[in-house]
Structure 1
Amino acid sequence: MKKLLLLTLSLLFTATIATAQEFAMTDGSFVTCSGDFTDSGGLAGDYTNGEDFTITFCSPFPTDDVQATFTLWNVGSGDILLAYDGDTATGSPIGVFNSAITPTVITASAANTSGCLTFRFISNATSTGPGWQATMACIDSCQTISNVVTTVPAPDGDGILRVCQGETVSFSATSTYSVDGTGATHEYRLADGTVVSGTTASQTFSGPGIYEIDYVTFDSTGCRDRLLVDVTVLVSTTPDFTGTLAADTSLCFGESTTISGQVVTTQFIADVAPPVTGQTFLPDGSGVAYQTCIDVTGFNPGTTFQSGSDLVDIFINMEHSYMGDLDITLTAPNGAQVELLNYPNSGGGIFLGNALDDGTTTPGIGFDYVFTESAGGNIRCFYSWSRWRNLYASR
């Protein structure tokens, strides 16, 4: 009997899927000035019975006010969405919405020092619906502050500064203001965490890597520029000179020899923090689909998979009391799908994790399951302590 499935999915990429960010209703807090806020079913599915989730949206800029503009609204009778003017669901809500009352535009008030909005959604046990979609934005009441950072050495034509290990980069900056720059202050937030006050700074980069520098300008009211990365520095790796040989191993004074050089560049690989979803609660039900969204960050806009092998692994932390009734699918924004577990399958009554089969919805203890592609396009699942089962034959 199916009781509960808790999923925590993470993906490791050498490239990623380009997609607009979607925030499905769940317990959590997010810092954003864009994206779609939806019910737990996402843009394509319905929410479920018995939900009680609280979500908070804040801006990365403390002087902003978060705004939610609802473009779709369709909830079942008795289900309610509460909106709070702040970063917690405490006090009196500024809006209560149900099947008869539709939200439109909700904005954090001027008295709200956090600038955040918090939403709590409660669904009853008898009805569901398509839910909602809202566009998230940040309202900026500050003047426009623009910075120009100049570096020595200068960046390449693509705007990226490329240097060798041990090289020192000097920074200098100027600022312009749409209203007034009187009393403005400036600081560099360097890649090593150092903060340097003023309009000039320098940093020596001793190791290979990708480094981001933020030059911050505050006006007299506390407003700042809105560019979070002003300079990106790529520091080279150490090349491999194995195979470089001289024609002669010993020479007398005044003699010469020929040296044949060989060099192989060393690839730099940056570990990007894997995107992780929240928990997905799956109540008992036959033929009902539930989904959670994986928001991928850490790559340039428009970056896409170049091949199927770019998707390295999928991790699911899961507990479930009956494997035989599961069908698990990973869907890309363009609609392409990978079946991780087909239904029907031969899993039968196999327990995943330490699932509780006691008639309650109390979660048990999830185990980590790693899905990876093997030869022939097969998907294999490896258990957390080296046991594995072939869950999927071919795709």
Structure 2
Amino acid sequence: MKRFLLLVVTTISFSLSAQDILMQNGIFNQCSPGFFYDSGGEFGNAGNDENFTLTLCPDSPGFQAQLNFTQFALQANQDFLTIYNGPDATYDEIGVFTAVSSPGTITASLTEINPGGQPNPDGCLTIVYTSNDSGPSAGWIAEISCFEPCQSIDAVLVSSTPAANAEDVIRICQGEEITFEGDGVFSSDATGATYEWDFGDGTNGTGQVVSKTYNNEGIYIVNLTVSDDNPAGCSSSNFINQFIHVSTDPDFTGTQAADSTICYGDSTDITGQVEGVTFAIDCANGGVQANLGSQGGQTYSSELELDCFLGQTITNASQLESVCLVMEHTYIGDLEIIIISPSGQQVTLHNQTGGGTFVGDPIISDGTGPGTGWEYCFSMSGTQQLSAGPTIPGGTPTPGNSVDPAAGPYLPVGNFNSFVGSTINGTWTLFIEDHLNIDDGTIFTWSLNFDESLLESDFAFTPMISSEAWDADPTITNTTGNVITVAPPNEGLYCYTYRVTDDFGCEYTEEVCINVLPEIVTEAPSNLFVCDTGMPPYIFDLEVNTATVLASSTIPGDMIVTYHNSFGDASGDIGAITGTNAYSGTDGETIYIRVEYQNSGCHEVLPFTLNVAGQPDINDVPDLVLCDDPSNDGFEEFDLSVQTLGILGTQAATDFNVTYHLSFADADGDTGELPLDYTNTINPQPIYVRVESAGDSNCYNATANPLFNLVVVPRDDASFTVTPNCNGATVTLTGLPGGTFTFNPAPTDGAVIDPNTGEVTGGTPGATYTIEYTTNGTCPSINAQTFDVIDVDDASFTM
């Protein structure tokens, strides 16, 4: 009951305003905030013997009147408040309220609310209040407002950059940005509209034009929600479901070199191979394991979330091809198995029949863990239920008979027709109840298998390779299709790039590198000699050739040198000779040296021969003769090496060492070896020669007498004197006769010289001339003299 009734009477004229309405007969059009009271107002009680009808309508078209009763108290079953959905009491009755059963929030409906009722296009509410003649009711207080119904809003994708293809899929590369422009189609107006984007990867955007970068390969579904400024929170309910396919990294398996490491100077082939990689969303992953205990009456459930059937509903039982469970249980007679769709429809797969038959290979309730699950499938194509299926002996540790899964699929107890009308996307639930004690089991996994034609084709894609080629490189020597032959010129790492483009326009590369090992630099080995003593064996030190062949190598420590008896053994790195420093060989035997870089297989094979021979031959050679220099001192530098080939004759220079000496003792004792560039100390200088085998210093020959002499021949005497005269000059030869006189330089004034006598005639008085005399002996020499022609005396006189 309301209190302070006197205060109500004294303040009613002040507290009531145009926004507040008291119960009375009348029609009021109001949406502005206010209060609706009983006839007693905010502080008074409702009156007795009242019978009022009040209609409240919105003051704006399209709105609906709304009353929110915050206080309500009438005499129970004596005073009544009846509310109608319409402009008078002939319209659909919303309800009759008495006592403290508050109407709560009442909103006018624009359509009929009762079957066969009348629509209420103006959104009015009619309130009828009747009271008896005794006992006051406290009345009510209700907030007045209007409800604006939601207009129809459809979200629309206006455009995207890049645009969708003919299949309405936007295809991009990883890391590429997409710009979306959205809009809404409004049944009323777009004032205050907002645009919220779901990019399908857990991120969102706001605005009509937004941009989004997808860094990871995959399938994304973009949706747009458009909302207006209606306080009721009105939004679009459609889905634009714009599919985004972000290209997958291709599979470059098979893009590789025939040899990842090659020897210096070798070549190898590199094959380019690439395949597009499929990305697909798995739409029917199994549910999680459920362990079925041994307590009777226990229930278990497992959920499976599907999201690959956009907007799809089941229209035919055959669309759900099967439900499969991997399970084991020791007593199927106590199991009830039910499958429940996202819309709440359910079908029983198995219902407590089959008695003590097993499913799978169970372990009977001993707490040692699950047995082995077998897969059982249920389908409307089955011919018998699980409980009627044939059995086969179970395994260990629990002997018994189990339903044979191979005899399935089994017919469910219920019918998949019960799922018709259910949405496919959403949460499917497997419900199991174990009705009896003792026996236990396990549901390991379960799955739903729908007709593949129901699957959204955009939930999988495979980029196709549109172009593929190797990048140009100067070390590529040949290209055949996608196979290149490469021959790097130097040691080191060489990398080659295989570049592909898919039909998304995305470019990918794969790099293949090969390592070129260092060049094996060798010198020719020496043929080895030992003197024929007439008493085999003949022992050769093969190892002397190791230093010879590696003499030019910059990395001798990385080289492995072995000796073999055949080219095949050396090439195959087999049968290496042991005891190489004391090898028993035969005359003319060929030995093969294998020089390999660090056990890499890169090698060279070099042959040399073993020779058993007598003393080397020393052939006669002529003296070395040089003309003396202008000093004529009798000493000159001689190149002794010019005699070597003549001394050896037909013997190979690489097989022998030739040295030069000043005495037989030095030559025989292999001492006092002269440098090859040698200046004589006497003239002539006798020279002795020693020739020894390159492989055996004890096998030698030395000349007991000088083999040749070093001879320095004196130069010719080209001296002469000149006596000038008025016409030229006369010459007196004091040196070797028989030479030739010439001018140097030649004059241009007509002077001439006698080449035999050197006399100059026709000279110009006072002119200077130079005469050269060249001898014609063994060691010619040149001498020059300069003179001036005598001037003619002046014989002029005066009278």
**Larger Rg belongs to:** 2
Task: Looking at secondary structure, tell me which structure has more helix per residue.
Answer: 2
